[in-house]
Chains A and B, each alone.
Chain A
Amino acid sequence: MALTADIKGGSENEIKGGAGLLVSRPFAFIGRNALGWINRLGAAAIFLCMAFLSTIGRKQLSKTVQQIYYIGARSITIIMLVSLFTGMVLGLQSYHSLLKFGASGAVGSLVSLSLIMELGPVLTAIMITARAGSAIAAEIGIQRISEQIDALHTMRINPIRYLISPKITAAIISFPLLTAVFDLIGILGGYISAVVLLGLNGGVYLHSINTYVVMSDITNGFVKSIVFAIIVATVCCYQGYFAHLRKDSHGAQAVGLATTSAVVTSCVLILVSDYVVTSLLA
């Protein structure tokens, strides 16, 4: 009898324990992930601070210039192509929409403000993430798994100073410049579709830009692009630098996943921070 009672008691406990687990498991999952995110965010912040502290130095200039060429100059073609068609689509859509309200004269201001305040910084950041950010994550990841970063340690060369800092500095310089290029070519694209193709008066298009675009719109766009530069460069460098610590994979696969993770995280953070920065600037 006693044995039966024990078994029964045990089963009840198991059921209670099982139910308890069922209830607590989702919270534990959310808590674990939240803690993981906070940890990674903290690590990335320290990583960024260390990179900033290593920015200045006699030997940093040439490396930074080299990275500006790689991140900035070599991205110009793709930025120009994307911005031209973005501007053309904007010009086309806004012309037809505004025509319904008899306000086709505002096409220029609509295209330019959309580009300068929003699309320019965001699309530029996303395009650079796809082109240079993924390459940065892969390059640093390969250097990590092939012990090149360990080799720097043994040669008493600070890897963050040597590899990371020039990339972050170069991104901060390149992003606003590329955003400016994007804005200009985009406005030109809008002009081509609205004025050249649809017959809007060119003077009206330019006058509208001159009237409605103010300096604060342009500086706000540049502030955003600097924020995006810091986010993209830090996330991509961080993912590559710690590719060897990934728990989901090892070796070349870890580098591949680090690169994917770098691009996805950067894009998500660009959009999230866009809202935050816009709210703050407004």
Chain B
Amino acid sequence: MQDCLAATHALRKRHNSLTCTVVYIGDEAPYARVDGTIRLDGEQQGVRLVADYELSIVVSEDFPASVPKVRLSDGAPATYPHVDADGTLCLGVNGEIAMAMNNSAVPLIAFYDEVLLPNIYAIEYYRRYRVMPFGDRSHGSQGVLEFYREFFDVDDESAVCQLLRAAAFRSPYRRRGKCPCGSKLRATRCHANHIDQLRACVDKSILMDDLALVANAANITKTKSAKESARLRLKGHRKT
């Protein structure tokens, strides 16, 4: 609880329009909540957007092993596609957010600068222009797969699964051994740095969750391509 409180107070120190409270609900673990109005005054590719957003950021007791939840008091624009069923904003893939939070000595400050502000900018841009300013990810497990594909710079789903598994479980992976991606290169010459970065920045529980989603997405893709092959085979058979 102390880490989580210190983080919220560090954020409040930088943005004095925010207030911090510790919330206790029954037997649940207490959490810290940051409420208030933040000003978006951001520019990306020459487009400056300025708006004030009233919001609350909920930081759990296990922070930074978990990602904070953010809710806008007035809600996101009606058709904005990245809001969860509970009304909180979907800010990004958890592994991606965890790595961004590692960009500062105070993870909640990094979360604010690297994750929350770009998301608020995207929401404001969407509110005005009905498009996402710098892209977004597919919903569900496909979006997680997209992120790890970009991160590892590999296309093959099973290679992404193996690399993520190596990051989440230490045992089958050796830096001087063959890279889990299947390239037949030594890991040190291939993906060792990526794996080390994930281990250093992302909590194991987040990696495990993301691995499950990536495995699911890979299965979906495999099933789809198997069905497509069967369909094409059948079509070819009918023609002959």
Asked if chains A and B come from one complex, the reply is no
